[in-house]
Amino acid sequence: MAYFSLRRLLRVSHAVAFFVLLPWGMFCASAGAQTLAPEKTLTVGVATVPPFVMEAAEGELEGISVDLWQNIAERRAWDFSWQLLPFSDLLDAVEAGDVDVAVGALTMTADREQRFDFSHPFYQTGLSIGVPPQADQSLFRVFRALVSWQFLSVVLGLSVLLLAVGLLVWLAEHKRNPEQFGGSVFRGMGAGLWWAAVTMTTVGYGDKAPTTLAGRLIGLVWMFAGLIVVASFTAAITTSLTVGNLTARIQSENDLYGTVVATIDDTASQRYLEEQHIHYRTYPDLTSAMRSVASGETGAVVYDRALMQYRNQQLGADRLTILPGVFAKQLYAFAIPEGSALRAPLSLEVLDVTESDRWGDIVSRYLVR
């Protein structure tokens, strides 16, 4: 009897467990199906940020983030439609739930995490430094510095000063000292220019010397003034020859102090430069900032490495040298509304793609490593 009672009790317990767990299993299955294969068409918000999101021909989109999303959507059989938005509006749309996924170069930050959720990060980047091409120190480089406008303007100013002093000496000497400063006007002024030059350089050949009181007073003043002129001229030459080498000393973010750095307003790079008290100048876009370095208007540019690598390919003769290494590291991820059921499957797919060879092909399509 006890044996049959025990068997009956087990049968009853199995039946109860079946009817209790059946609804829960059906709920989980339906929830899992909704999570893995949503029936609705997803609205995917995008903001143009080359090379992660770019507008191609005929309104098509391409880029690192776009290719990654399309790869994931194809694997999951997700239907979606693009919604192109300004970057600032894109973040608000994610927070309000107006878009199901935000695709672009979205940096994961604590502030944004409070507003919406992120998938697993798919790209690690950071700030890098772009400097003018660091050519070898050659005679051609020195020659270029010698024919620069800064150097030629100094030489022109010095020539005018020598001519003025020579003219004063000729006016004081040509009548009472015609042997040395006489003759025609051009010959006399030439003699005065020669005397001013040899006196300034303290060579003093002695072939020409003023004999009048006025001429000697001019000579006395010019001898002392010449010391200052020579020192200033030497400093100008040194500056002209070495100004091109100043950027060569920039090897890391610690070398940015003492130079003007180009960046873009209201970006992570601008905030970094402010926090580090580095002197900077803002430009409307990355291309303008990088061209300012190529033209010598600024000494370096600080911006996101991946974006700068891509833009650098399009600068042609103005292409910069992007220093190796990054600082102030950032992580890019897809943004989704808080509590979205897409978060788990999307993160799983991001990990799967970025760990495969497909990811290297996607990145190398847009960036030269």
Write down the pLDDT at residue 81. Answer: 94
335 neighbors 94 (Cβ within 8 angstroms) = yes
Write down the pLDDT at residue 227. Answer: 83
Q: What is the pLDDT of residues 293-319, one digit of tens each?
A: 999 899 999 999 988 988 898 888 889
pTM, full prediction: 0.56
Q: What is the pLDDT of residues 156-184, one digit of tens each?
A: 888 888 888 888 888 888 788 887 787 78
Q: Which two tokens stand for residue 223?
A: 């001898």
Q: Cα 213 to chain center, whole Å?
A: 63
Number of Cβ within a 10 Å radius of residue 274: 11
107 neighbors 271 (Cβ within 8 angstroms) = no
Mean pLDDT of 216-229: 83
Mean pLDDT of 20-25: 42
Maximum CA extent, the chain? 153
| Cα separation, 352 vs 262, whole angstroms | 38
Mutual angle of helices 2-36 and 343-354, in 10-degree steps: 70
Non-local (6+) Cβ contacts of 179 within 8 A are none
- Please name every residue paired with 81 in a beta bridge, in sequence order, or none if there are none: 43
Which of 23-37, 114-128, 345-359 has the lowest average pLDDT?
A: 23-37
Which helix (DSSP H) or strand (DSSP E) does residue 24 occupy? Answer: helix 2-36
| Cα separation, 193 vs 214, whole angstroms | 17
Q: Please report the DSSP string for 264-292 in residue order.
A: ETTSHHHHHHHHTT--EEEESSHHHHHHH
Q: Cα 209 to chain center, whole Å?
A: 60
pLDDT band at 140 (very low <50, low <70, confident <90, very high): low
Write down the pLDDT at residue 75. Answer: 92
Write down the pLDDT at residue 266. Answer: 79
- Please name every residue paired with 82 in a beta bridge, in sequence order, or none if there are none: 44
Q: Is 24 exposed, middle or buried (0-12, 13-18, 19+ CB in 10 A)?
A: exposed
Number of Cβ within a 10 Å radius of residue 301: 30
What long-range pairs does 354-359 form, CB within 8 A, spacing at least 24?
Answer: 354/68, 354/122, 358/71, 359/68
Q: Which two tokens stand for residue 296?
A: 């010598």
Mean pLDDT of 7-15: 47
Non-local (6+) Cβ contacts of 347 within 8 A are 119, 120
pLDDT band at 26 (very low <50, low <70, confident <90, very high): very low
**How many residues make up the chain in this entry?**
369
Mean pLDDT of 60-71: 93
Q: How far is CA 274 from CA 18, 38, 153, 271, in A?
A: 65, 45, 36, 5
| Residue indicated by tokens 């042609």 | 316
CA end-to-end distance (rounded Å), the chain = 80
Q: Cα 336 to chain center, whole Å?
A: 29
| Cα separation, 358 vs 72, whole angstroms | 11
| Cα separation, 328 vs 271, whole angstroms | 11
Q: What is the pLDDT of residues 249-285, one digit of tens each?
A: 788 888 899 899 999 987 889 989 999 999 999 999 8
